[in-house]
Amino acid sequence: VEVSDATVLDTKVPDGFGQDYMTLHGTIEEAYLSPYVDTSLEYGGNLGWADEDEIHLVVPLVWDRDSSSNVKDLTEVVLVLPDGTELHPAQDQSWTFKHMPRTTVATFTIPADLETATVKVKPRFGQVLNDDFEQVEEPVTATLTFH
């Protein structure tokens, strides 16, 4: 999978509790196709074998952030197909961005004949101790071309 036009997020989120800010660096550097995915649901989505006309797309995300006990990472990721259809990853997104530090992965099942798609990460943050706090950032996107 060729990754192109990847945008980068470098931001600070007010911690509101123990530290001044939680810093975050996010982007998309790689992706790969696999007919079989057999890892924990949290990591890659225990998908097994793809159907004959489908294949699994695995997108490891760069999502390096400080640990913060008060910042809630409410980020979501979708795969946008050329016709505008949005696919959601196999794994629960609240788990994908919640448990850090670890590898952040989004896994999709796509049509095998798909030529291109766009990964869109929609960063959104809240605070545990302040229900009124919300910080939304511009989406991080990357174009994927399948060979």
- State the pLDDT at residue 42: 54
- Rounded to an integer, what is the distance from CA 120 to the centroid of its chain? 8
Q: What is the DSSP string of 1-49?
A: -EEES---EEEEEE-SSSSSEEEEEEEE---EEESEE-S-TTTT---EE
- Cβ within 8 Å of residue 78, ≥6 positions away: 86, 87, 88, 89, 119, 120, 122
Q: What pTM, to 2 d.p., does this model score?
A: 0.90
Per-residue confidence of the chain (147 residues) as pLDDT tens digits?
Answer: 999 999 999 999 999 887 789 999 999 999 999 999 886 655 566 788 999 999 999 999 999 988 888 999 999 999 999 999 999 998 877 777 765 556 788 999 999 999 999 999 999 999 999 999 999 999 999 999 998
Is residue 57 packed enough to be buried (19+ CB in 10 Å), middle (13-18) or exposed (0-12)? buried
Q: Which helix (H) or strand (E) holds 118?
A: strand 116-122
**What is the pLDDT at residue 43?**
58
User: What pLDDT shows up at residue 8?
Assistant: 97
What is the C-alpha radius of gyration for the chain, rounded to an integer number of angstroms? 16
Give the pLDDT score at 92: 76
What pLDDT sits at residue 99? 59
For 84-112, write each residue's pLDDT tens digit.
999 999 887 777 776 555 678 899 999 99
